[in-house]
C-alpha cells in the first residue's frame, strides 16, 4: 500500500510539471526544455515548524510567504549557475533568491512577489520559449572542463615526487633547527653536548683495513693496519706447497750427495783420504 501511495504521489507531482523552452544560443535552433511547478513545503518542514512554533512564529510566516512566491525547477541544462537561472526567470518578475540542489539539475526560484511565480507558471502552461545566452566562461567547459578537473586531481608521479622532496627537505630543516635548539639549551646549562650520528659509518684506510666509527678504538685500528701492512704469509698451507717443498728437498739432497762424492774422489786422488 505504501509503494502504491508513493507511486500515486509521484505521478501526481509529474502531472503538475509544466515545460518552459530555453534557447541558449541565438545562432542555434536547439531548444532545451525545463520543467517547473509551484513549490510546495515538504511534510518534514511542516513538522519541524510545528515543533518550534512558539519560538519561531515570525520566521515561519516569512518562510510560508516565500513558498507562495517560489517555483520548483528541474531538468536544468549543464552549466547553468544560480545567476543564470535568476536572469532567465527575471522576465516574469523580480527574483529574490535562487537555490540550486547538489546535482545542479534542479533548484528553487523565489520571486519577490507572488505575481512573478504566477506569471512563470502561466508561461509554462503555454510552452513559452525564453531566449537567454549565458556568458561563456574563461576556461574550458563541458567535457573538457571535466577532463581538466580529473587531470588536476591526478597530477602524475613527477609532480608528486617534487612535492614529497620539498616536504622532506622542510622536515629535515625543522628537525635540524630543533636539534640546534636542544644543544644550545644543554650547553647553556653547563652540560657537555655529545653529538651522536645516526648509523655506523664504515671508513676504509689506505692499507685496506675497514674500521667502524664508534665501535673500535682508534689505537686498535692503527695497530691492525700496521700489522696487516707486513704482509704475513703462511707456508705449507696448501697441498701443492707441501709437494713443492718435498721435491725441492730431494733435489737439494741429491745435489749435496754429488758434491760429497766428487770431494771424496778428489781426496782419494791426492792420497789424503784416510778412511776409518
For residue 29, give the CATH number of its domain.
Answer: 3.30.70.330
- Residue 168 in any domain: the answer is no
What is the DSSP pairing of strand 129-131 with strand 18-23? Answer: parallel
User: How many C-beta atoms lie closer than 10 Å to residue 20's C-beta?
Assistant: 25
Residue 190: the pLDDT is 63
Could you give the number of structural domains in the chain? 2
Q: What is the tens place of the pLDDT at every residue in 118-173?
A: 888 888 878 788 888 777 666 776 678 888 888 888 888 888 899 899 999 999 99
Specify the residue for cell string 505575481: 115
- Residue 162 in any domain: the answer is no
The closest alpha carbon to 78, from 141, 35, 124, belongs to 141
Q: What's the domain range around 259?
A: 236-271
Residues in CB range of 64: below 8 A, 6 or more apart: 41
Residue 243: the pLDDT is 87
Q: Which of 77, 110, 135 is the last residue of a domain?
A: 135
- Residue 174 in any domain: the answer is no
- Residue 71 in any domain: the answer is yes
Q: What is the tens place of the pLDDT at every residue in 53-98?
A: 555 555 555 555 556 679 899 988 887 888 888 988 899 999 999 9
pTM exceeds 0.75, yes or no = no
Q: 181-219 burial by CB neighbour count: b if 16+ within 10 A, else e?
A: eeeeeeeeeeeeeeeeeeeeeeeeeeeebebeeeeeeee
- Residue 66 in any domain: the answer is yes
- Residue 266 in any domain: the answer is yes
Rounded to the nearest 10 degrees, the angle between the axes of helix 57-69 and helix 114-126 is 30
- Residue 98 in any domain: the answer is yes
The closest alpha carbon to 128, from 100, 95, 88, belongs to 88
Amino acid at each position: 500500500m505504501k509503494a502504491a501511495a508513493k507511486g500515486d504521489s509521484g505521478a501526481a507531482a509529474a502531472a503538475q510539471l509544466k515545460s518552459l523552452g530555453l534557447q541558449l544560443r541565438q545562432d542555434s535552433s536547439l531548444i532545451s526544455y525545463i520543467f517547473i511547478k509551484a513549490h510546495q513545503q515538504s511534510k518534514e518542514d511542516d513538522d519541524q515548524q510545528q515543533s518550534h512554533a512558539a519560538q519561531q512564529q515570525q520566521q515561519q510566516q516569512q518562510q510560508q510567504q516565500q513558498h507562495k512566491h517560489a517555483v520548483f525547477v528541474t531538468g536544468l541544462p549543464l552549466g547553468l549557475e544560480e545567476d543564470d537561472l535568476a536572469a532567465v526567470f527575471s522576465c516574469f518578475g523580480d527574483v529574490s533568491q535562487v537555490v540550486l540542489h547538489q546535482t545542479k539539475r534542479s533548484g528553487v526560484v523565489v520571486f519577490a512577489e507572488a505575481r512573478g511565480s504566477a506569471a512563470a507558471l502561466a508561461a509554462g502552461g503555454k510552452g513559452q520559449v525564453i531566449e537567454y545566452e549565458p556568458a561563456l566562461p574563461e576556461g574550458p567547459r563541458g567535457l573538457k572542463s571535466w577532463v581538466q578537473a580529473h587531470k588536476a586531481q591526478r597530477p602524475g608521479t613527477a609532480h608528486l615526487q617534487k612535492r614529497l622532496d620539498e616536504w622532506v627537505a622542510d622536515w629535515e630543516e625543522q628537525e635540524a633547527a630543533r636539534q640546534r635548539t636542544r644543544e644550545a639549551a644543554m650547553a647553556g646549562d653547563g652540560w657537555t653536548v655529545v653529538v651522536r650520528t645516526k648509523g655506523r659509518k664504515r671508513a676504509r684506510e689506505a692499507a685496506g683495513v675497514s674500521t667502524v666509527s664508534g665501535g673500535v678504538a682508534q689505537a686498535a685500528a692503527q695497530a691492525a693496519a700496521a700489522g696487516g701492512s707486513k704482509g704475513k704469509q703462511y707456508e705449507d698451507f696448501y697441498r701443492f706447497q707441501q709437494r713443492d717443498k718435498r721435491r725441492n728437498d730431494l733435489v737439494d739432497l741429491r745435489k749435496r750427495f754429488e758434491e760429497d762424492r766428487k770431494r771424496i774422489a778428489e781426496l782419494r786422488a791426492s792420497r789424503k783420504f784416510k778412511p776409518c
